[in-house]
């Protein structure tokens, strides 16, 4: 078997490609503008490096906030165009508001408009090339799935919408097929005897093994996997790909060998990381409380008109090492919302007041929790603290649920910026997968990513 050469881009490669080319194309556009027109506001030269670096930083940071590097959104023209316009509008506005680092405003104010449209057009042209070339089928990663029939549907559904370029072409049953066995029709099945030939014919670039009972793999399939491995062919485990693409831990497939899946981040024991993390918590919570004090008069008026009752409420939550603490929040529900008993908060919950809905979506209801952060009960970033009643219930149903309590809970976290509000056991399972991913991969870079995504959540009014 000779493997056909195919070109495909990994997730990380595409994100880096988008960032680098966005910056390059922005500078090329500005240079072309000064080369062919009488444009002097931003000059591409070594003497102007501070202004150029500032422009690059703004494009990268605001592009992240406004989701220019979300691969799902980057693959669609409508959302890409909208995000480019919002990003460039913010970049130019901030560029004008930092005259100490950016160039002096030009006498001819029309040059600012030239810069604005040049950035939009140049980045948009590149993104069109990306969508219609890099995102085309010729660059898809073609994957062959190997696993049990009973697990194929779960695997396909989980990976189907994660990465536009990750295409599962078909599957091979890793078990002995019985005459009366149920067939899976949602994906093309190839015969185990044609394993190696299928890889060549279908131009497969990766084999994904999703067998959760390795003892049941037939000798023929096992032999072919060994041959591929010896030839340097790429073979990956499903749980590894699941965690890489979905950025959450697949705890539903974890068994007695659970310790293999939880080599928790060294940052959890890194004294320097913990020190800077706590310093960030203190500084940011002080800023948050100051901002809350400035907004308090407006919040009081809104509460008086839209909530009609106490402004604050205190509730018991589970913190680090499963110790309970009292959390402070702005009240968003009617008084005595749980008179009939404790229950999940639902989307469009009728108990949420009109002003409470605004507080939730804007995340302003979280402001008093900066006091909990300052006290040390919480952190800015971490798993959301849950109520003892739900923790007890979920711990009995969901394996490893208590593991999320090995670090401080947070105001925001990987689960909050990656999925919707938890209102059921299934939602709690999904949130736990993201929480464990954060604990496992905790780092300064991931904390920064969560901070940026939190800004996106607030700006796009996605809070619940």
Clarify whether residues 287 and 394 are in a common domain: yes
Query: Going by C-beta distance under 8 Å and a sequence separation of 6 or more, which residues neighbour residue 425?
Result: 394, 397, 398
Could you say which of 134, 167, 182 is where a domain stops?
Answer: 134
Question: Do 235 and 327 sit in the same domain of this protein?
Answer: no
Q: Are residues 386 and 237 in the same domain?
A: no
Sign of CA dihedral 292, 294, 297, 298: negative
Question: Is the Cβ–Cβ distance between 284 and 460 less than 8 Å?
Answer: no
Task: Tell me the mean pLDDT in the region 132-151.
Answer: 84
Average pLDDT score over the chain: 86
pLDDT at 233: 92
The pLDDT of residue 265:
76
Average the pLDDT over each of 2-11, 322-331, 425-434 and give the range with the smallest value: 2-11
Residues 411-464 have pLDDT tens digits of: 999 998 888 766 678 888 889 999 999 999 999 989 988 998 888 877 765 655
Beta bridge partners of 168: 143
Residues 6+ apart with CB under 8 A from 26: 55, 56, 59, 119, 122, 123
Position 426 scores a pLDDT of 82
pLDDT at 252 (0 to 100): 73
Question: Residue 26: which of 80, 87, 71, 67 has the closest Cα?
Answer: 87
Please check whether residue 53 lies inside any domain of the structure.
Answer: yes
Same domain, 103 and 174: no
Kindly state whether residue 298 falls inside one of the protein's structural domains: yes
Domain-located, residue 251: no
Domain boundary among 88, 111, 134: 134
120 in a domain, yes or no? yes
What integer pLDDT is reported at residue 46 of this predicted model? 80
> Which range marks the domain in which residue 318 is found?
266-459
7 CB neighbour count, 10 Å cutoff:
10
Same domain, 175 and 197: yes
Q: pLDDT, tens digit, for every residue of 115-127?
A: 999 999 999 999 9
pLDDT digit string, tens, across residues 190-210: 998 999 999 999 999 999 998
Is residue 100 located within the same domain as residue 188? no
- The rounded distance, in Å, linking the Cα atoms of 155 and 211 is 10
Residue 164 in this model has a pLDDT that exceeds 80? no
- Tell me the pLDDT band of 336, cut-offs 50, 70 and 90: confident
- 32 part of a folded domain: yes
Residue with tokens 């690059």: 56
Instruction: Enumerate residues 6+ apart whose C-beta is below 8 A from 1.
Output: 196, 197, 199, 200, 231
Higher pLDDT, 149 or 423: 149
- For 358-404, how does the pLDDT look when each residue is reduced to its tens digit (9 = 90+)? 888 888 888 999 999 999 999 999 999 999 999 999 999 988 899 99
pLDDT in tens, 305-314: 888 888 898 9
Count of domains forming the chain: 3
Which among 246, 276, 304 is the end of a domain?
246
Question: Which pLDDT belongs to residue 179?
Answer: 59
The CATH code of the domain that includes 159 is: 3.40.50.170
How far apart, in whole angstroms, are the C-alpha atoms of residue 135 and residue 14? 10
Same domain? 52 vs 191: no
pLDDT tens column, 53-63:
999 999 999 99
Is residue 428 within 8 A of residue 338, CB to CB? The reply is no
So what's the pLDDT on residue 346?
Answer: 65
Return the pLDDT at 287: 95
258 located within any domain = no
**Does residue 256 carry a pLDDT above 90?**
no
Q: With cut-offs at 50, 70 and 90, classify the pLDDT of residue 145.
A: very high
Q: Is there a domain that residue 257 lies in?
A: no
Please determine, for residue 234, whether its predicted confidence score (pLDDT) is greater than 60.
Answer: yes
Phi and psi angles of residue 129, each rounded to the nearest 5 degrees, phi first: -60, -40
237/280 same-domain check: no
Same domain for 207 and 287, yes or no, is: no
| One domain for residues 317 and 192 | no
225 with 295, same domain: the answer is no
**pLDDT for the residue 341:** 65
pLDDT at residue 286 is higher than 70:
yes
Residues 195 and 98 in one domain: no
User: Does residue 199 lie in a domain region?
Assistant: yes
């Amino acid at each position: 078997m000779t493997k056909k050469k195919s070109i495909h881009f990994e997730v990380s490669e595409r994100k880096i490609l988008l960032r680098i080319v966005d910056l390059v194309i922005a500078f090329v556009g500005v240079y072309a503008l000064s080369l062919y027109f009488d444009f002097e506001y931003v000059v591409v030269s070594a003497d102007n490096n501070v202004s150029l670096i500032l422009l690059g930083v703004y494009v990268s940071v605001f592009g992240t906030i406004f989701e220019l590097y979300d691969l799902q959104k980057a693959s669609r023209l409508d959302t890409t165009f909208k995000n480019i316009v919002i990003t460039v509008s913010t970049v130019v506005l901030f560029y004008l508001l930092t005259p100490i680092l950016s160039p002096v405003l030009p006498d001819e104010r029309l040059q600012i408009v030239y810069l604005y449209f040049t950035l939009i057009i140049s980045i948009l042209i590149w993104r069109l090339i990306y969508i219609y070339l890099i995102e085309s089928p010729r660059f898809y990663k073609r994957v062959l799935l190997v696993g049990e029939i009973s697990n194929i549907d779960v695997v396909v559904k989980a990976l189907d919408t994660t990465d536009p370029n990750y295409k599962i072409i078909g599957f091979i049953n890793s078990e002995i097929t019985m005459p009366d066995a149920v067939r899976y029709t949602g994906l093309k099945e190839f015969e185990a005897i044609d394993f190696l030939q299928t890889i060549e014919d279908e131009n497969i670039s990766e084999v994904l093994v999703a067998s959760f009972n390795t003892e049941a793999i037939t000798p023929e399939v096992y032999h072919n996997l060994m041959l591929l491995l010896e030839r340097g062919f790429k073979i990956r485990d499903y749980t590894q790909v699941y965690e890489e693409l979905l950025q959450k831990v697949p705890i539903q497939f974890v068994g007695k060998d659970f310790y293999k899946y939880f080599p928790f981040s060294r940052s959890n024991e890194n004294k320097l990381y913990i020190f800077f993390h706590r310093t960030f918590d203190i500084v940011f919570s002080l800023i948050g409380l100051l901002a809350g004090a400035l907004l308090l008069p407006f919040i009081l008026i809104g509460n008086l008109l839209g909530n009609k009752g106490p402004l604050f409420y205190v509730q018991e939550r589970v913190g680090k090492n499963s110790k309970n603490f009292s959390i402070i929040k702005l009240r968003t529900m009617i008084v005595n919302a749980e008179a009939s008993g404790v229950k999940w908060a639902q989307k469009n919950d009728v108990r949420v007041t009109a002003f409470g809905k605004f507080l939730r979506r804007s995340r302003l209801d979280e402001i008093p929790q900066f006091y909990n952060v300052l006290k040390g009960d919480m952190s800015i970033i971490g798993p959301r603290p849950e109520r003892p009643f739900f923790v007890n219930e979920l711990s009995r149903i969901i394996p490893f649920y208590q593991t999320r309590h090995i670090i401080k809970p947070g105001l925001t976290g990987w689960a909050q910026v990656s999925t919707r509000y938890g209102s059921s056991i299934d939602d709690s399972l999904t949130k736990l997968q993201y929480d464990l991913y954060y604990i496992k991969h905790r780092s300064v870079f991931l904390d920064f990513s969560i901070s940026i995504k939190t800004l996106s959540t607030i700006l796009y009014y996605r809070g619940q």
